[in-house]
Amino acid sequence: MAEDITRQGEILIVLVEDDPHHRKKMKDILTDSFPNCVIKTIANGVEACNYLLNPVNHYNLVILDGRLDTYPTTLLAKVNGPDVAEAMRERNIDVPIVLWTNDPKMLQSFDEVCGMRLPEIEKPCRSYNVEAVLTPIITKITQGIHAKQEEENDKDEQFSLKL
């Protein structure tokens, strides 16, 4: 199990994966490895865009599959992982994205959209690889959250002193 680096409810991880078997396995690994993180699963690109682009929703990390095939594409345009990442970038959503695909074409599309290679979890997933990739990212997120909380506490103290 990865070192416990979060407190309850601080970090929300959004997992976007269309295959139910892969999605369940990754969620189980995340829950075991990072027990204080909240995991939200999304099964397709359209739902991912609806959730991730909504300014009301707050999340700290996105794990994104490349090829998101299982949505009924006859009803809507197909939205793959790189499309989701591009929509997030266009809206200036500054949240870490971790790739979870073994498709070379999708990896190339992500590289083009993001202008660099993003962190990547091997597929199929294994707990040691998930922990190796995510622990430094979650540590950085946690440090940022704690810094914001300290800043807010300092502001509250300053306000109290003025009264």
Looking up tokens 């829950």 gives 31
Give the CA count within 13 Å in the CB-facing half-sphere of 21. 2
For the CA atoms of 63, 65, 70, 76, the dihedral, rounded to the nearest 10 degrees, stands at 90
* The pair of three-digit structure tokens given for residue 62, joined into one six-digit string: 């996105």
Question: What confidence score (pLDDT) does residue 10 get?
Answer: 77
Judge whether 154 lies within some domain. yes
Give the pLDDT confidence of 63-83 residue by residue, as tens digits: 999 999 765 555 566 899 999
Question: What confidence score (pLDDT) does residue 5 get?
Answer: 46
Question: What confidence score (pLDDT) does residue 36 get?
Answer: 84
Judge whether 20 lies within some domain. yes
| Domain carrying residue 103 | 12-162
Among the listed residues 60, 2, 5, 29, the one whose alpha carbon sits nearest the alpha carbon of residue 123: 29
CATH number for the domain including 85? 3.40.50.2300
| Contact (CB, 8 A) for 45 and 68 | yes
- Average pLDDT, integer, range 132-153: 85
Indicate the helix (H) or strand (E) that contains 13.
strand 12-16
Which strands make up the sheet holding 97-99, listed edge to edge? 38-42, 12-16, 61-64, 97-99
Average pLDDT, the chain: 87
Q: Which residues pair with 61 in a beta bridge?
A: 13
Judge whether 136 lies within some domain. yes
Q: How many domains does the chain have?
A: 1
CA 133/CA 146 separation, integer angstroms: 21
Give the pLDDT confidence of 9-61 residue by residue, as tens digits: 479 999 999 999 999 999 999 999 999 899 999 999 999 999 999 999 999 99
Judge whether 1 lies within some domain. no
With 50 as the cut, is the pLDDT of residue 85 above it? Answer: yes
Characterize the bridge pairing of strands 38-42 and 12-16.
parallel
Among the listed residues 19, 124, 109, 113, the one whose alpha carbon sits nearest the alpha carbon of residue 68: 19
Judge whether 123 lies within some domain. yes
Judge whether 108 lies within some domain. yes
Among the listed residues 94, 86, 88, the one whose alpha carbon sits nearest the alpha carbon of residue 140: 94
Judge whether 6 lies within some domain. no
Judge whether 86 lies within some domain. yes
Give the pLDDT confidence of 103-135 residue by residue, as tens digits: 999 999 999 999 999 999 999 999 999 999 999
- Model-level pTM? 0.85
